[in-house]
Amino acid sequence: MTRLLGQAVVSTRSLGSVELCTLDDGRDVVVKRGDVAAEAAGLRWLAEPGAVAVPEVLDADGTVLVTTTVPRGSASRPAAEAFGRSLAALHAAGAPAFGAPPPGGPTGAWIGEAPMRNVPHDGPWLDWYLADRVQPYLRTAVDRGALSASAASRIEGAALRPGPEEPPARLHGDLWSGNVLWSDDRAWVIDPAAHGGHRETDLAMLALFGCPHLETVLAAYDEAAPLADGWRDRVGLHQLFPLLVHATLFGGGYGDAALRAVT
């Protein structure tokens, strides 16, 4: 019989890409298999400031990640306000550089099923963002037919206005609504693609596919850590990366959406 954490597994239930396992000491744990080294390092890094709620890493060996379960409830306005404030505190905990991986995390990471490179960059945020986030996926999207060469050229030639320079923030990195789970009193984040980046990127990702009480989250964030003027005008710039990732993975209209985001 399979054993985890020194205990026998008495039942297993599939939850999509993970398994919910009940151990013979009565605990329920979440098990994820595959290349999980970056995710394990990311969960530990996000937990370090004690700001945003994340599952605890119980064990990780590079191919199996075992975490605690997340209590489930429903999104509420108070929980959304608390999430906005805690996300601001997480970002303020900072990172050594743009592109920096979590401590102990590998250079080769993942965002969903797409590879993602985490290498520290000592230049301005936009230079790193274009070189390590936009360009690799732009080329792949064209190669896979999800984006025309002319559309890619228009994205490359777009007038991108990144706003004032800010220090590297500690990002979740894949903060779409599916990676935000709600208990009755707080939000939990799972499945990070953590790295050092611009804090507006996490906020733009929250908005990409919708998030419960989004405006409440954003208002609480802005009150705790005021955003630079014009941040709403830059949402498309920060959504360009996840849209290109989706274009490379799923095709469809994501390539066109990436073009619309910055033109």
Domain extents for the chain?
Answer: 70-262
Q: Please report the pLDDT score of residue 174 as a whole number.
A: 98
Neighbour count for residue 13 (Cβ, 10 Å): 10
The verdict on domain 70-262 having CATH code 3.40.50.300 is no
Query: Which tokens belong to 151?
Result: 């559309």
The reply to whether 28 belongs to the active site is no
* Residue tagged 């999207």 (tokens): 141
Alpha carbon 55 to chain centroid distance? 15
Q: What is the DSSP letter of 100?
A: P
Q: What is the DSSP letter of 2?
A: -
pTM for the model stands at: 0.96
Q: Please report the pLDDT score of residue 252 as a whole number.
A: 86
> Strand, helix or coil at 206?
helix
**Residues 175, 173: Cα–Cα separation, whole Å:** 6
pLDDT in tens, the chain (263 residues): 488 999 999 999 999 899 999 999 999 999 999 999 999 999 999 999 999 999 999 999 989 999 999 999 999 999 999 999 999 999 999 999 999 999 999 999 999 999 999 999 999 999 999 999 999 999 999 999 999 999 999 999 999 999 999 999 999 999 999 999 999 899 999 999 999 999 999 999 999 999 999 999 999 999 999 999 999 999 999 999 999 999 999 998 999 999 999 99
Contact 141, 258 (CB under 8 A): yes
**Residues 38, 195: Cα–Cα separation, whole Å:** 10
Q: Which of 59, 61, 122, 174 is catalytic?
A: 174
Query: Which tokens belong to 96?
Result: 């050594």
Amino acid letter, residue 70: V
Please list the residues that pair with 180 across neighbouring strands: 189
User: Three-state secondary structure along 29-43?
Assistant: EEEEECCCHHHHHHH
